Chains A and B, each alone.
Chain A
């Protein structure tokens, strides 16, 4: 009999802070309890949406690792702290004690996982959007919902993409479109130096009240909307025009990595949840059991998902002429963009 089977014989149900969980591997995983190779041992995973954990939760988790584990924590690749080597019979007490301070366990298996995120614009100098708010809000709304397979959400604050928006089932990535206020530009060309994407050049013939050296010109199709020019500008001349989120879907890593399809750009934060719900509804309708959404998109076609999003974010959807621009081609590894199918006009 397996360890889990043996445990099941001993006790059929665990009361985990109000949730009753029967001890079956998939259901243990639903509750963030991962069977170990050692008999009767499990790893207990805690939720840390966006990688943020309240200090009082962390202090309690650390205390519990001493009490029930082996005195250390492990951080998963999706930012969750977990306590290895917990005896199955101690899980109930551990989870209850964690629940007393409000720390809750994560889930794994075929459902919406705890969203990951970078620090975002709250305090990271590069952050363009509030990834922490979006990770927390989407955790509150969608965490644990069942799907055909796992469903991973991530939020990156800028095109550096630390949260790997292109490697998640649904990923969001902050972006900003710059514009030049010609009245403030001194023609110093610091912005041209700051741009790593050949999206700015100096035109010495452009005149303005503060410049005798011309002004920068932006090549829209090269610009990846990172905002480095805005940050470099010392004279409040290069400024943010609009800020939003690029949307990617269908990415995953694992044994068979899959790069996400680019879906939309400059989606405002208030529309992000509509996007998540529409993509999940499409996946629920079209996904086969055990199939990640990237594979579903491959099988049914990206245009089916794009059509499903038309009413939600029609004006922000990328069209064929967009994904042919260097700005979208170069954010993928060499040649990957060549494999994108034809995007129908929707």
Chain B
């Protein structure tokens, strides 16, 4: 694999499997608010509806998604906080 986020260590990880929209994004946003610029947040979200909403909202907030990976029934996202 040659993805950009490979090998980088997240400052925080959130397992949001079973957490519905929009609470999953609210928790993501709160976690990002607690990070310093450039730090990484790892989240795991359910497949389907959360994949439609959460990455888009993260982008709209101005953060950057370094990696997205299908881990079977769920997706792992690695997000870098942009101030």
Contacts and interface: CB of A to CB of B under 8 A. Distances in A.
Nearest to B65: A234
B41 to A, nearest CB: 13
Contact of A234 (B1, B52, B55): B55
B69 A212 contact: no
A232 B55 contact: yes
Contacts of B21: none
Interface residues of B, number: 19
Contact of B1 (A125, A196, A212, A231): A212
Interface stretch (A9-17, A187-195, A309-317): A187-195
Nearest to B50: A193
Interface in A40-89: none
Contacts of B47: 193
Interface string A198-241: 00000000000010110000000000000010011111000000
Given A188-B69, A188-B70, A193 B52 contact: yes
Nearest to A125: B60
Report, as a range, how many residues of chain A touch the other chain. Answer: 10 to 19
Interface string B42-83: 000001100110011011100001011110000101000000
A194 B69 contact: no
A188 B52 contact: no
**SS class of chain B's interface: helix, strand, loop or mixed?**
mixed
Given A190-B55, A193-B48, A234-B55, A212 B65 contact: no
A190 B2 contact: no
A190 B51 contact: yes
B55 A210 contact: no
Contacts of A156: none
Given A193-B47, A193-B51, A194-B51, A232 B70 contact: no
Contact of B65 (A125, A213, A231, A235): A235
Q: Which of A186, A190, A228, A231 has the most CB of B within 10 A?
A: A190
Nearest to B57: A125
A263 to B, nearest CB: 29
B3 A186 contact: yes
A233 B58 CA distance: 11
A323 B79 CA distance: 42
A234 B51 contact: no
B28 to A, nearest CB: 13
Given A190-B51, A194-B51, A228-B52, A234 B68 contact: yes
B75 A234 contact: no
Nearest to A235: B65
Nearest to B68: A188
A189 B70 contact: yes
Contacts of A188: 67-70, 75
B73 to A, nearest CB: 11
7 closest Cβ pairs, A-B complex: A193-B51, A234-B65, A188-B68, A194-B52, A231-B56, A234-B55, A190-B68
Interface of A: 125, 186, 188-190, 193-194, 196, 210, 212-213, 228, 231-235
Given A186-B67, A188-B69, A231-B56, 16 more contacts: A125-B60, A186-B68, A188-B68, A193-B51, A193-B75, A194-B51, A194-B52, A194-B56, A196-B52, A212-B1, A228-B52, A231-B59, A232-B52, A234-B58, A234-B68, A235-B65
